[in-house]
Amino acid sequence: MEQPSYLGIDHIAYATRSTEKTSAFFTALGFEVLFHRQPIDKFGVFITKLRSPAGEIVEVVEPFRPDSVVSRLLQDVDACLYHAAFRVSDLSATQASLAQIGGVTVTTAMTIPYPATAEHCSLTTSHMYHPAVGLFEITG
């Protein structure tokens, strides 16, 4: 099978009980807020995106429903690393390749379900899980 083309890190996501506190940490480092606390009803979370002066993206994810996956992650902590998102040239080929080595698709491929950059509006994303790395996202 042909190896899918890895293009780089798309973003790093943090789960938090307080978007304000987590965002304040990143803005103190010089990140700018791209959008703030956009609700994603499907997942029961608010999404905030920030961009560093060098262009890296951080996603801050705060649950607003107790049955959200993110709520369960935050049972004993105020914030934690949630997932890394990897940019790939072929989402389907990457999913198939990762499935062959134990990757499990958590969310079916979808257009990005929240306000995004113009570039991201044309991309598809899927969350996956692998025992060696935990939850991650692929975007392409």
- DSSP code of residue 3: P
Binning pLDDT at 50, 70 and 90, where does residue 116 land?
Answer: low
Of the chain, the percentage scoring pLDDT greater than 90 comes to: 79
Looking only at the bridges linking them, the beta strands covering 79-88 and 134-139 are parallel
Q: What is the pLDDT of residues 33-91, one digit of tens each?
A: 999 999 988 889 999 999 999 999 999 999 999 999 899 999 999 999 999 999 999 99
Residue 3 binned pLDDT confidence (cut-offs 50, 70, 90) = low
Q: Using alpha carbons, select from 59, 33, 138 the residue that is nearest to residue 92.
A: 138
Among 14-18, 100-104, 110-114, the range scoring the smallest mean pLDDT is: 110-114
For residue 118, the one-letter residue type is A
17 or 41, higher pLDDT: 17
pLDDT computed for residue 132 by the predictor: 95
Higher pLDDT, 38 or 119: 38
Q: What pLDDT, on the 0 to 100 scale, is given for residue 122?
A: 79
> If residue 23 lies in a helix (H) or strand (E), which one and from where to where?
helix 19-28
Q: Is the pLDDT of residue 1 over 60?
A: no
Question: pTM (2 decimals)?
Answer: 0.88
> Distances in Å between the alpha carbon of 18 and those of 21, 80, 101, 104, 109?
5, 11, 36, 29, 28
Of 40, 25, 22, nearest in space to 82 by CA: 22
Find out whether 10 and 56 touch, Cβ atoms under 8 Å.
no
Q: Which fold has domain 6-139?
A: 2,3-Dihydroxybiphenyl 1,2-Dioxygenase; domain 1 (3.10.180)
Rounded Cα distance between 64 and 17, Å, is: 9
Among 66, 65, 137, CA closest to 108? 137
